[in-house]
Structure 1
Amino acid sequence: MEKEHLLGKTWEELQAVVAEAGMPRFAARQMAAWLYDKRVTDLAEMTNLSLRHRDQLSQRYDVGRSLPMQSQRSVDGTIKYLFRVGDNDFVETVYIPDRDRATLCVSSQVGCKMNCSFCMTGKQGFRRNLTSAEIINQILSVEHSDQLTNLVFMGMGEPFDNLDEVMKALTILTADWGFAWSPKRITVSTIGHLAGIRRFLDESHCHLAVSLHSPYPAERLQIMPVEKAFHMDDILELLRQYDFSHQRRLSFEYILFSGFNDDLVHADALARRLRGLDCRVNLIRFHAIPGANLKSSDPRSMEAFRDRLNHHGVTATIRASRGEDIFAACGMLSTAEKERK
Structure 2
Amino acid sequence: MEKKYLAGKTLDELSGIVARMGMPRFTAGQIAAWLYEKRVRNIDEMTNLSKQNREHLAAEYEIGYSVPVEEMRSVDGTVKYLFKTTSGNFVESVYIPDRDRATLCVSSQVGCKMNCYFCMTGKQGFNSQLTVREIMNQIISIPESAKLTNLVFMGMGEPLDNLDEVMTALTILTAKWGFAWSPKRITVSTIGVKRNLTRFLEETDCHLAVSLHNPFPEERLSIMPVQKAYPIADIISLLRNYDFSHQRRLSFEYIMFSGFNDSLKHAEALAKLLKGLDCRINLIRFHAIPGVNLKTSVESDMVIFRDYLNRKGFTCTIRTSRGEDIFAACGMLSTAKKGEIGNKC
Q: Classify the TM-score, shorter chain.
A: over 0.9
Aligned to 2:183: 183
Q: TM-score, normalised by structure 2?
A: 0.98
**What is the correspondence of 1:219-258 to structure 2 with a 5 Å cutoff?**
219-258=219-258
Q: 1:258 and 1:243 mapped to 2: Cα distance?
A: 34
Aligned to 1:335: 335
TM-superposed deviation, 1:2 = 3.0
Q: 2:233 and 2:144 mapped to 1: Cα distance?
A: 41
Q: 2:6 and 2:154 mapped to 1: Cα distance?
A: 25
**SS of alignment partner, residue 157 of structure 1:** coil
Given residue 133 of structure 1, which amino acid in structure 2 is its aligned partner? R
**What is the correspondence of 1:24-103 to structure 2 with a 5 Å cutoff?**
24-103=24-103
Q: 2:10 and 2:196 mapped to 1: Cα distance?
A: 20
Given residue 228 of structure 1, which amino acid in structure 2 is its aligned partner? K
**SS of alignment partner, residue 103 of structure 1:** strand
The answer to whether structure 1 residue 154 and structure 2 residue 146 are counterparts is: no
Q: Deviations over 1:154-197 (max 9, x none)?
A: 00000010000000000000000000000000000001011221
Aligned to 2:285: 285
TM-superposed deviation, 1:314 = 1.3
TM-superposed deviation, 1:86 = 1.8
Given residue 253 of structure 2, which amino acid in structure 1 is its aligned partner? E
TM-superposed deviation, 1:36 = 0.5
Given residue 277 of structure 1, which amino acid in structure 2 is its aligned partner? L
Q: Deviations over 1:103-141 (max 9, x none)?
A: 000000000000000000000000000000110010011
Q: TM-score, normalised by structure 1?
A: 0.99
Q: 1:188 and 1:240 mapped to 2: Cα distance?
A: 18
**SS of alignment partner, residue 59 of structure 1:** helix
**SS of alignment partner, residue 81 of structure 1:** strand
Given residue 171 of structure 1, which amino acid in structure 2 is its aligned partner? T
Aligned to 1:298: 298
Aligned to 1:14: 14
**What is the correspondence of 1:77-156 to structure 2 with a 5 Å cutoff?**
77-156=77-156
Aligned to 1:5: 5
Q: 2:65 and 2:14 mapped to 1: Cα distance?
A: 17
Given residue 163 of structure 1, which amino acid in structure 2 is its aligned partner? L
TM-superposed deviation, 1:55 = 1.1
The answer to whether structure 1 residue 268 and structure 2 residue 268 are counterparts is: yes
TM-superposed deviation, 1:87 = 4.3
Aligned to 2:315: 315
TM-superposed deviation, 1:60 = 1.4
Which structure 2 residue ranges, 5 or more long, are not aligned? Answer: none
Q: 2:172 and 2:87 mapped to 1: Cα distance?
A: 26
Q: 1:143 and 1:269 mapped to 2: Cα distance?
A: 44
- After TM superposition, which residue ranges in structure 1, 4 or more long, deviate above 4 angstroms? none
TM-superposed deviation, 1:256 = 0.3
Which structure 1 residue ranges, 5 or more long, are not aligned? Answer: none
Q: 2:168 and 2:5 mapped to 1: Cα distance?
A: 14
Aligned to 1:325: 325
Q: Deviations over 1:273-316 (max 9, x none)?
A: 00010000010000000011111101111111100100111110
Q: 2:59 and 2:231 mapped to 1: Cα distance?
A: 49
**SS of alignment partner, residue 321 of structure 1:** coil
Q: 1:238 and 1:250 mapped to 2: Cα distance?
A: 13
Q: Give the number of aligned pairs.
A: 341
Q: 2:205 and 2:65 mapped to 1: Cα distance?
A: 27
Q: 1:39 and 1:118 mapped to 2: Cα distance?
A: 37
| Superposition CA RMSD, Å | 0.7
Q: 2:109 and 2:87 mapped to 1: Cα distance?
A: 15
Q: 2:163 and 2:133 mapped to 1: Cα distance?
A: 14
Given residue 339 of structure 1, which amino acid in structure 2 is its aligned partner? G
TM-superposed deviation, 1:94 = 0.3
Q: 1:129 and 1:11 mapped to 2: Cα distance?
A: 22
